[in-house]
């Protein structure tokens, strides 16, 4: 039912989230300002009556404060205000649909904060001329126009992320709080932030804090002077010295900073501590997850019920390896987020919980092959950090090659049948989707029959899409490799576009065939 409501609201936004439509060219900006004034009056009446806007009213409110751009008004609007944040979207784009409610919520929040930024959106699929003028080439796209000149958006994609990025880019990198009422209001609106307490808002340490606030695009910085106000935001603060601390909306809520007050160190502290103990990956936050500076990332792929059962022990493990490992939960049935990762392990059809790990940049991958209990996960993580885990290479099940003319090689048998074999081996490397692989396979079968009875030459094949090995790196399919018995480290690449006689000649050129009995004609 909840999914249906969310879908309905998103559809509602896409269909009716229109602000200034076909207004006259002369009065369009003035009418927009009149709508803002009307909004202010409605908000004051609501607050006076102690009534909060419903979600539907919030969406309606967003309709009044976001410009709907078209081919005629785009240039005039982006040049008519100092700051304009434009969302380029397409009704058919699922990521646009996901971002739209966050954009609407951000519009409301920025309005309530009194920010001068104007938000606008354009259906680039419908208004191609406007999209071209604005520089929108894909969907969704966010662009900030400053006095008519665009710059790319580089923040996150939740409503709070958009608000934080926008306020920083429009001249307010830090929110200063001077009363308890302001502090409580701030807490209602912000779930993740960095708080700084300074006796005076001046001096070298404070200047480094300000520089960090301007450099970071994702975290709201807030500053206070009085210790009692700081305690509203960060209850554990006791020091009367300058103080920094990260606050997050999760069990590991408070993290104090104990380093030097320098720009680089503050940003480093923030990078390692801004994520929760367990981050749920979504389309919205995936870019931030991929760009995390934490070297090791442990992914838990599970259905929601299994993950709930695992959450408490997993958080304990995550707490142990805080700042050393980033823990990420991905719904195992998510085609866009889970399947690409699971395919890397040959587990794309998995339905039970999978725990896997990557080094930052995904240069190596690791798989927990035992049951995902707390102790097993903790040992897995410990070995990961220590560098004692063996990288995982996917493999199909070991086949029975007893009667085969062409042996099937898998990842688990590559050492035994190829590298450690005392024989010469011709290996066909293929993939199921390779266009020319079938023809080469037929040639290999005929060659295997031709050389049948040879005591020193065997023919083999491997599906490169389903099998990996650290000494096996082939990216072109089909490929034929000749592993000579006396030099397995330097396989010879044989031609794949040759006749059978030419292939046989190539093989005979490099190795001497022994004890060949049967010989089919080529």
**Phi, psi angles (nearest 5°) of residue 173:** -70, -20
32 located within any domain: no
Q: Which is the catalytic residue, given 19, 93, 106, 409? A: 93
Asked if residues 191 and 249 have their Cβ atoms less than 8 Å apart, the reply is yes
23 among known catalytic residues: no
Instruction: Output the domain CATH number for residue 244.
Output: 3.40.30.10
Please check whether residues 226 and 284 belong to one and the same domain. no
pLDDT in tens, 360-408: 666 789 999 999 999 999 999 999 999 999 999 999 999 998 888 999 9
Does pTM surpass 0.85? no
Residue in 9, 27, 31, 11 with CA at minimum distance from that of residue 19: 31
Distance of CA 141 to the CA centre of its chain: 17
Residue in 20, 6, 255, 34 with CA at minimum distance from that of residue 122: 20
The residue among 106, 139, 167 that closes a domain is 167
Using CA atoms, how far apart are residues 371 and 512, in angstroms rounded to an integer?
Answer: 50
48 located within any domain: no
28 located within any domain: no
437 among known catalytic residues: yes
Q: Which is the catalytic residue, given 247, 434, 448, 494? A: 434
Please check whether residues 249 and 297 belong to one and the same domain. no
Using CA atoms, how far apart are residues 52 and 46, in angstroms rounded to an integer?
Answer: 7
CA dihedral 375, 381, 382, 385 (to 10 degrees): 180
The residue among 274, 298, 328 that closes a domain is 274
Asked if residues 246 and 190 have their Cβ atoms less than 8 Å apart, the reply is no
Residues 6+ apart with CB under 8 A from 428: 406, 440, 441, 444, 459, 460, 461, 462, 478, 479, 480
The residue among 119, 150, 167 that closes a domain is 167
Count Cβ neighbours within 10 Å for each residue of 224-257 and write b for 16 or more, e otherwise.
beeeebbbbbbeebeeeebbbbbbbeeeeeebeb
Please check whether residues 323 and 356 belong to one and the same domain. yes
Tokens found for residue 464: 């490169």
Please check whether residues 362 and 310 belong to one and the same domain. yes
Please check whether residues 296 and 237 belong to one and the same domain. no
The 3-state secondary structure of 36-105, one letter per residue? HHHHHHHHHHHHHCCCCCCHHHHHHHHHHHEEEECCCCHHHHHHHCCEEEEEEECCCCHHHHHHHHHHHH
pLDDT in tens, 28-76: 444 444 444 444 454 444 444 444 445 455 555 556 789 999 999 999 9
Please check whether residues 334 and 436 belong to one and the same domain. no
In the prediction, which pLDDT does 520 show?
57
Helix (H, G, I), strand (E, B) or coil at 276: coil
396 located within any domain: no
Tokens found for residue 263: 């720009």
Rounded to 10°, the helix 159-169/94-112 angle is 60
Please check whether residues 288 and 377 belong to one and the same domain. yes
367 located within any domain: yes
Parent domain of 249: 173-274
pLDDT tens, per residue, the chain with 522 residues? 333 333 333 333 333 333 322 222 334 444 444 444 444 454 444 444 444 445 455 555 556 789 999 999 999 999 999 999 999 999 999 889 989 999 999 998 888 888 889 999 999 999 999 999 999 999 999 999 999 999 999 888 888 889 999 989 888 899 999 999 999 999 988 888 999 999 999 999 999 999 999 999 889 999 999 999 999 999 988 777 899 999 998 778 899 999 999 999 999 999 889 888 999 998 878 878 888 889 899 999 999 999 999 999 999 999 999 989 999 999 999 998 999 999 999 898 999 999 999 986 667 899 999 999 999 999 999 999 999 999 999 999 999 988 889 999 999 999 999 999 999 999 999 999 988 899 999 999 999 998 887 888 999 999 999 999 999 989 899 999 999 999 999 999 999 888 889 999 999 998 888 765 555 555
Helix and strand numbers (H, E) in the chain are 18, 20
Please check whether residues 136 and 68 belong to one and the same domain. yes
In the prediction, which pLDDT does 57 show?
58
401 located within any domain: no
369 located within any domain: yes
397 located within any domain: no
Using CA atoms, how far apart are residues 478 and 503, in angstroms rounded to an integer?
Answer: 14
Based on the structure, what is the number of domains in the chain?
Answer: 4
Q: Which is the catalytic residue, given 13, 174, 429, 437? A: 437
Using CA atoms, how far apart are residues 402 and 466, in angstroms rounded to an integer?
Answer: 22
Radius of gyration (Cα) for the chain, nearest Å? 31
381 among known catalytic residues: no
Please check whether residues 463 and 481 belong to one and the same domain. yes
């Amino acid at each position: 039912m909840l999914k249906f409501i969310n879908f309905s609201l998103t559809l509602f936004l896409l269909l009716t989230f229109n602000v200034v439509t076909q207004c006259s060219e002369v009065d369009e900006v003035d009418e927009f300002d009149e709508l803002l004034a009307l909004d202010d009056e409605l908000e004051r009446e609501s607050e006076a009556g102690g009534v909060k806007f419903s979600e539907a009213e919030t969406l309606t409110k967003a309709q009044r404060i976001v410009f709907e751009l078209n081919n005629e008004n785009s240039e005039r609007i982006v040049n008519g205000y100092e700051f304009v944040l434009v969302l380029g979207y397409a009704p058919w784009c699922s990521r646009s649909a996901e971002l739209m409610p966050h954009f609407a919520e951000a519009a409301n929040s920025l309005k309530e904060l009194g920010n001068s930024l104007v938000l606008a959106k354009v259906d680039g699929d419908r208004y191609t001329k406007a999209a071209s003028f604005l520089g929108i080439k894909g969907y969704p796209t966010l662009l900030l126009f400053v006095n008519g000149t665009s710059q790319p958006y580089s923040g996150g994609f939740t409503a709070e992320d958009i608000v934080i990025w926008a306020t920083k880019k429009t001249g307010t990198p830090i929110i200063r709080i001077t009363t308890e009422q302001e502090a409580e209001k701030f807490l209602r609106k912000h779930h993740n932030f960095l708080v700084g307490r300074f006796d005076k808002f001046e001096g070298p340490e404070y200047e480094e804090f300000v520089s960090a606030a301007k450099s970071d695009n994702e975290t709201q910085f807030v500053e206070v002077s009085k210790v009692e106000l700081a305690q509203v935001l960060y209850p554990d603060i006791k020091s009367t010295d300058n103080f920094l601390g990260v606050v997050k909306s999760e069990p590991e809520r408070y993290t104090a900073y104990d380093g030097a007050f320098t720009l680089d160190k503050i940003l480093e502290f923030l990078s390692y501590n801004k994520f929760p103990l367990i981050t749920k990956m979504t389309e919205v936050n995936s870019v931030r997850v991929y760009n995390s500076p934490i070297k090791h990332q442990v992914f838990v792929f599970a259905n929601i019920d299994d993950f709930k059962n695992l959450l408490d022990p997993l958080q304990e493990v995550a707490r142990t390896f805080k700042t050393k490992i980033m823990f990420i939960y991905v719904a195992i049935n998510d085609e866009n987020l889970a399947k690409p990762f699971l395919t890397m392990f040959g587990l794309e059809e998995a339905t039970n919980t999978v725990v896997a790990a990557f080094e930052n940049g995904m240069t190596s991958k690791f798989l927990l092959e035992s049951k995902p209990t707390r102790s097993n996960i903790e040992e897995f993580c410990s070995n990961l950090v220590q560098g004692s885990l063996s990288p995982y290479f996917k493999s199909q099940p070991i086949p029975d090659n007893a009667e085969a003319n062409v042996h099937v090689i898998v990842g688990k048998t590559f050492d035994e049948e190829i590298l450690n074999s005392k024989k010469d081996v011709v290996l066909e490397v293929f993939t199921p989707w390779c266009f020319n692989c079938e023809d080469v396979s037929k040639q290999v079968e005929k060659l295997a029959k031709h050389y049948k009875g040879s005591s020193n030459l065997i023919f083999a094949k491997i599906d490169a899409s389903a099998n990996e090995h650290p000494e096996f790196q082939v990216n072109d399919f089909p490929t034929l490799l000749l592993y000579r018995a006396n030099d397995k480290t330097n396989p010879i690449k044989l031609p794949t576009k040759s006749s059978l006689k030419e292939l046989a000649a190539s093989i005979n050129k490099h190795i001497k065939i022994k004890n060949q009995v049967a010989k089919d004609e080529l």
